[in-house]
Amino acid sequence: MGDFNVKLKYYVDSVLNQKEFPATGKMTVCELKRQISKKLKTSYYNLQHMTFLGQILDDEEEIWSYEIEEGSVLEFSYQVHDIDMDIGNFDQNHEGKVGCEILKGSVKVGDFATIVQSLKGNPSAQFNLVEPGLISNETIIRLKQLVDREHLEFSQSWGTERAGELDDFKYNLIRKELSNLIGQKTLQKLEALYEDTYDEIVIRRCQSHGQFINFHTDFSKRTLQVALNGDDEYEGGRLVYVTGGVMHTPQRPTGSITIHQNDIVHGVSKLGKGVRYGLFLLKKK
């Protein structure tokens, strides 16, 4: 279970690449993927379907449990420009897309019924907003420090090549890591609030200035987001729900939590200045 090299066999835009990559038996699949993501300059999301002997590797597992050893061949493939980001894409204009003028900030009203209808949303969908208090401020600072540190490391490795992705940086964690970071009891409270099983944990650090996430419904069946900083700490970047025929822009102070299902139409208004941090629990399978 010591240090060894695995062989990565992967197709990028259908072109075969092979590379030796250092691993240890005790590392989790998640840790291995994060390191590969950093070194290969690709998004973690591109590595979702990494296989060994035809079996998809589970992020939570340690790699020794698959009997991966020296010379084992791990396979995956991805398209250079095809990144599946389930928590939305920040973009500059989303030109021509429904409701984009609202999130750009150029108009304040819209035909909300048409927006919901065109996105096949539920016109009376609900969202929950939970007041701060579940996660302590010290813990929130620790989560922000972690994602800041990782953002810096990825920036050093990726350089300016992937500036857009680095500006909207997403760091995947497994449950055990989140439990170590926030404490088991707090995690259990968060899970009770989620009221379902989840299969992805992400910390997001966004500084995509001048960009917004257009109205959409999520692929993730249920999304819980803890605001890791308050919406008074950055300019714009407001979470906007459209339901009940109106637009809701909840105040999200540090530590507040929003929960919604994938039937509610929502977006994020243009981020002007500052950095916006969030912790997400998602159900994608």
Q: How far is the CB of 206 from Fe ion (least distance, A)?
A: 13
CB 204, CB 168: distance < 8 Å: yes
Give Cα 125 to chain centroid, integer Å: 23
Spatial distance between the Cα atoms of 130 and 109, rounded to a whole number of angstroms: 27
Pick the closer one to Fe ion by CB: 28 or 172.
172
Mark the segment that binds Fe ion (CB under 5 A) among 6-14, 87-95, 182-190, 202-210.
Answer: 87-95
User: Between residues 8 and 86, which has the closer beta carbon with respect to Fe ion?
Assistant: 86
At 259, list the tokens: 């929960």
Residue carrying the six token digits 């990565």: 8
Using CB under 5 A, pick the residue from 30, 37, 88, 270 that binds Fe ion.
88
Nearer to Fe ion, 168 or 218 (CB): 218
Which is it for strands 222-227 and 276-282: parallel, antiparallel or unpaired? antiparallel
CB of 88 to Fe ion, least distance (A): 5
Of the candidates 226, 206, 203, which has an alpha carbon nearest to the alpha carbon of residue 137?
A: 226
Minimum distance, C-beta of residue 197 to Fe ion, in the bound complex (Å): 19
Four-residue CA torsion sign, 251, 100, 235, 230: positive
Complex with Fe ion: residue 218 or 231, whichever CB lies closer: 218
**Least CB distance from residue 184 to Fe ion, whole Å?**
28
- CA–CA gap between residue 26 and residue 202 (Å, rounded): 22
Beta-carbon contacts of 30 under 8 Å, excluding residues fewer than 6 positions away, are: 59, 60, 172, 173, 174, 177
Q: How far is the CB of 266 from Fe ion (least distance, A)?
A: 6
# residues near Fe ion by CB under 5 A:
2
Asked whether position 121 contacts Fe ion by CB under 5 A, the answer is no
Smallest distance from the beta carbon of 97 to Fe ion, in angstroms?
14
User: What is the torsional sign of CA 180, 201, 156, 31?
Assistant: positive
Region of 21-29, 40-48, 215-223, 277-285 interacting with Fe ion (CB under 5 A): 215-223
165, 167, 168, 218: which one binds Fe ion (CB under 5 A)? 218
Cβ pair 27, 57 in contact under 8 A:
no
Minimum CB distance to Fe ion, residue 69 (Å): 40
Q: Which of 140/268 has CB closer to Fe ion? A: 268
Say what angle helices 29-40 and 137-158 make with each other, to 10 degrees: 40
Nearer to Fe ion (CB atom), residue 88 or residue 121: 88
Binding segment toward Fe ion, per CB under 5 A, in 100-108, 168-176, 179-187, 213-221? 213-221
Q: Point out which span in 47-55, 84-92, 94-102, 201-209 binds Fe ion (CB under 5 A).
A: 84-92
Cα separation, 283 vs 202, whole angstroms: 11
The residue among 43 and 225 lying less far from Fe ion, judged by its C-beta, is 225
What is the contact surface with Fe ion in residues (CB under 5 A)? 88, 218
